């Protein structure tokens, strides 16, 4: 018998025996439970600062999660932009290498019509 089956059997046994409790006893148990719960201090998320005070984290987490989400989003957008610029630089490097390795004279690169020819040939 595994742990889950054991817990199911215990739950069924407790449910069956709870129905057999007398109403007066059930009321006393409920009142005792309410008194015990009233004595338990309310727990809050606090961060101890090594004896220098406490930081209450209840209102801190929602704002922190939103800030972390915005930071992750900004880093993602920045990373994609950086990656795109690297890809563009690699593409420009290939074009420059092909142009410099070609047998054209340097005056051909200085010609204004050459830039137009490059654009037209790149579109084809």
**Max alpha carbon distance in the chain (Å)?**
107
CB 61 within 8 A of CB 45: yes
* pLDDT for position 84: 94
How many CB atoms neighbour CB 109 within 10 A? 13
* pLDDT for position 96: 82
Task: Classify the phi-psi angles of 22: left when phi > 0, otherwise alpha if psi is within -120 to 50, otherwise beta.
Answer: beta
Q: Which residues pair with 116 in a beta bridge?
A: none
* pLDDT for position 19: 76
CB 58 within 8 A of CB 44: yes
* pLDDT for position 78: 95
pLDDT tens, 41-95?
A: 766 555 555 555 555 555 666 777 788 889 999 999 999 999 999 999 888 888 8
> Would you list the DSSP string of 36-95?
HHHHSPPP--EEE-TTS-EEE-TTHHHHHHHHHHHHHHHHHHHHHHHHHHHHHHHHHHHH
Q: Tell me the domain boundaries of the chain.
A: 1-40, 57-124
* pLDDT for position 72: 93
């Amino acid at each position: 018998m595994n742990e889950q089956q054991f817990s199911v059997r215990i739950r069924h046994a407790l449910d069956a025996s709870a129905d057999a409790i007398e109403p007066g006893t059930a009321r006393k148990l409920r009142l005792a439970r309410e008194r015990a719960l009233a004595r338990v201090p309310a727990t809050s998320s606090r961060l101890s600062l090594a004896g220098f005070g406490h930081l209450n984290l209840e209102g801190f987490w929602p704002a922190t999660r939103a800030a972390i989400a915005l930071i992750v989003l900004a880093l993602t957008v920045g990373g994609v932009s950086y990656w795109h610029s690297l890809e563009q630089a690699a593409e420009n490097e290939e074009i420059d290498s092909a142009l410099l390795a070609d047998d054209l004279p340097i005056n051909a690169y200085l010609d204004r019509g050459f830039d137009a020819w490059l654009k037209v040939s790149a579109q084809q």
